[in-house]
Amino acid sequence: MTAEFVSTYTKMIVSYPEDIQVETKEINDSFFEITIIANSADIGKLIGKNGNMINAMKTILNGCKAKDGISYKIQVVSK
């Protein structure tokens, strides 16, 4: 569910939504790493000015942590 949200949210922000890939890796039972792979031209849009956009995504995922007890780490990587 969280990976689908991140994918949908990032595709609305970027200029090249067809290049967005979201990978989820389970580190342990209560920790997941979400990697957003995007076009290099869109990295700035995903991070945002002063990191505001990526911090907003982290805040939303912290809400998911309160619900299901799973922590998430987000990384943004360029193609």
pLDDT, tens digit only, all 79 positions of the chain: 788 999 999 999 999 999 999 999 999 988 999 999 999 999 999 999 999 999 999 999 888 887 888 899 999 999 8
pTM of the model: 0.88
Sign of torsion, CA 74 75 78 79?
negative
Give the 3-state secondary structure of residue 15.
Answer: coil
Q: Which domains does the chain possess?
A: 2-78 (3.30.300.20)
Give the pLDDT score at 9.
Answer: 92
**Angle between helices 52-68 and 2-13 in degrees, nearest 10:** 160
Helix (H, G, I), strand (E, B) or coil at 68: helix
Q: What is the pLDDT of residue 69?
A: 87
Of residues 27, 25, 26, 10, the one with CA closest to residue 78: 10
Q: If we measure between CA atoms, which residue out of 62, 5, 65 comes closest to residue 36?
A: 5
